[in-house]
Structure 1
């Protein structure tokens, strides 16, 4: 008889606030989810470096106030190598020990990513530079379905292999709807000789309209069954359906050998906390008071 699935390790993605209201929302989210004992939390980095300082401030605050292991997103967009590596040094000075190294999306108004003439050409070059500096755990992105700029899934696997060979020690996937999508990708990565952990990215659906818009931008296919289910649920049933689908996806992944899950929170903790509770990830007694 197979062993019962164990409690998975979890991590959470936040985005930096751009207003006072968003600041309160971020801190409320951190306060609600920190007691779940995440392996790490990550903080996103806006296209074109639009949230560069905000990201830095959020990373430092989350680390200092909530004592979380924070992985700062860093991209290659619209910056020289010197400017990008200065950000790395600033993080090191602040005690940050993890970076999620990404190519990044094209700035608003540009059709595609174009490297800065004095910048890193891609995520592989960025990872190589951070690894050569030393002192950081480097995570990278992975695509179970083809990246919008990729010709096919095989190219995404080959690109991930390059990132791991350059120094990334784990990868976080884009979100997906079907567990088999992840399992096929995991098998292809193993066949390609990628030994680094690949952490599934989970998006509990806060808004079906927003989720479809996000999927279109990042190349995630939307299955007809999901569209039919959310249409049938309507606004009144959307929250319950989203919880059930995300928890079911997580359980299937865990049963398939996954021991780490990364949640895209959108700085809204309640649905994420409900999904975590449904898969057995809860705060120890008294943890909420200790973090408050």
Structure 2
């Protein structure tokens, strides 16, 4: 039988494991004044938690790209938090990419999330891949580069081994961190991490955490990202009143917390939160993890 003192020691050890972790947050460029206000309120709310960095996704046209540039520069200037723009190579020439990268470096941006980007509907084989973009960025300056990883395989990859070898190419090109697609089965992520190590991939693989705020939106995201939504998660939201957002938020926070707890016990020390530009759930989860803000 476990004594009271042993139970307290185990609880303290569990809390210690959770409080040693790092977090980062992802945002996207807003497309309305209301959404822009929400974004900056979220940045202001989450910055005191001292995240490792805040990343901003990259739009598929020049207007969205300009928004990404402006947001990351403002985040870093106003909050002091490292800001990491996403950069895609699918819709820009090599010369354009070099110009963008040099501008970031000249304005103090040192971290970039390098991605291939989504192919246009009428596109065939892309001219550049994420590994090419990583090599280009490293040629411009000594950036700290994150790339994408897919525990459940990229939707376009013919098989899981092909996907892993692609990740290895990105590591060999100079990336030092991979951020995973969101997932809900912790064993899927852990198996992926182990397979990556066995393939010789020398990268920190950071789990991407999506706190569920809207079940229908989740199903939509999962559909085009090849993410499996397990039966237990379907059942959690089954029968809930669509107007009862408080219960849904609490449920989403608990699901994310459970994922973090399991992975923290497996040695994971950094978690990347897909905020969808809202701070409430990410802040609540980080607060429960012991972050102070």
The alignment's TM-score, normalised by the length of structure 1, stands at 0.90
What is the CA-CA distance between 1:135 and the residue it aligns to? 2.6
Mapped partners of 1:229, 1:83: distance in 2? 47
Aligned to 2:216: 209
Cα 1:50/1:181, change in 2 over 3 Å = farther
Matched, 1:157 2:164: yes
Cα 1:36/1:227, change in 2 over 3 Å = same
Aligned to 2:270: 260
Mapped partners of 2:166, 2:100: distance in 1? 25
Cα 1:170/1:51, change in 2 over 3 Å = same
Mapped partners of 1:113, 1:214: distance in 2? 24
1:18-167 aligned at under 5 Å gives the runs: 18-49=31-62, 51-107=64-120, 110=121, 114-115=125-126, 120-167=127-174
Mapped partners of 2:261, 2:241: distance in 1? 25
Aligned to 1:290: none
Higher Cα radius of gyration: 2
Unaligned runs of 5+ residues in structure 2 are 1-8
Q: Secondary structure of 1:96's partner? A: coil
What is the CA-CA distance between 1:82 and the residue it aligns to? 0.6
Mapped partners of 2:124, 2:148: distance in 1? 16
Aligned to 2:181: 174
Residue 102 of structure 2 contacts residue 140 of structure 2 at CA under 8 Å; is this kept in 1?
Answer: no
Mapped partners of 1:254, 1:184: distance in 2? 15
Unaligned runs of 5+ residues in structure 1 are 284-292
Residue 105 of structure 2 contacts residue 141 of structure 2 at CA under 8 Å; is this kept in 1?
Answer: no
Mapped partners of 1:112, 1:261: distance in 2? 34
Instruction: Figure out how many residues of one structure are paired with residues of the other and give that number.
Output: 277
Aligned to 1:229: 236
Matched, 1:200 2:207: yes
Aligned-pair Cα RMSD in Å = 1.7
What is the CA-CA distance between 1:18 and the residue it aligns to? 2.1
Cα 1:29/1:217, change in 2 over 3 Å = same
Mapped partners of 2:59, 2:128: distance in 1? 18
Aligned to 2:4: none
Aligned to 1:288: none
Mapped partners of 2:216, 2:291: distance in 1? 28
Matched, 1:11 2:18: no
Mapped partners of 2:204, 2:69: distance in 1? 26
Cα 1:234/1:55, change in 2 over 3 Å = same
What is the CA-CA distance between 1:79 and the residue it aligns to? 1.2
The alignment's TM-score, normalised by the length of structure 2, stands at 0.90
